[in-house]
């Protein structure tokens, strides 16, 4: 009885057809999505910092934070299309 159960489990495991590359692509997209969240956090932190501290660097810093966020969005969508 145990051997037949074990052999059935082996057959079930080996009949599963999954692509390793598909899992790798999914992991890359998940990582890029987390990176997009990180870029959004940077954008938010720069906005909060510029409200708290008024200075000459707040304008360019906001500009580069927005560029960074937009670049991370573009990279995510390019990876989603190409993968």
Per-residue confidence (pLDDT) for residue 3, from 0 to 100:
66
Q: At what angle do helices 58-82 and 20-52 cross, to 10 degrees?
A: 170
Q: Which two tokens stand for residue 20?
A: 């390793």
pTM of the model: 0.73
Give the tens place of pLDDT for each residue, 21-47: 888 899 999 999 999 999 999 999 999
Whether the CB-CB separation of 37 and 18 falls below 8 Å is answered with no
Reported confidence tier of residue 58, pLDDT bands at 50, 70, 90: confident
Write the CB contacts of 73 (distance below 8 Å, at least 6 apart in sequence): 36, 39
Write the CB contacts of 63 (distance below 8 Å, at least 6 apart in sequence): none
Whether the CB-CB separation of 65 and 43 falls below 8 Å is answered with yes
Which residue's entry shows tokens 């145990």? 2
Calculate the average pLDDT of the chain: 88
The full set of domain ranges for the chain reads: 18-82
């Amino acid at each position: 009885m145990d051997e037949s159960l074990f052999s059935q489990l082996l057959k079930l495991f080996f009949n599963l057809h999954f692509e390793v590359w598909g899992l790798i692509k999914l992991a890359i997209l998940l990582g890029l999505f987390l990176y997009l969240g990180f870029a959004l956090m940077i954008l938010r932190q720069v906005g909060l910092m510029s409200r708290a501290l008024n200075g000459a660097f707040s304008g360019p810093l906001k500009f580069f934070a927005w560029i960074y966020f937009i670049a991370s969005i573009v990279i995510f969508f390019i990876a989603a299309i190409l993968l």
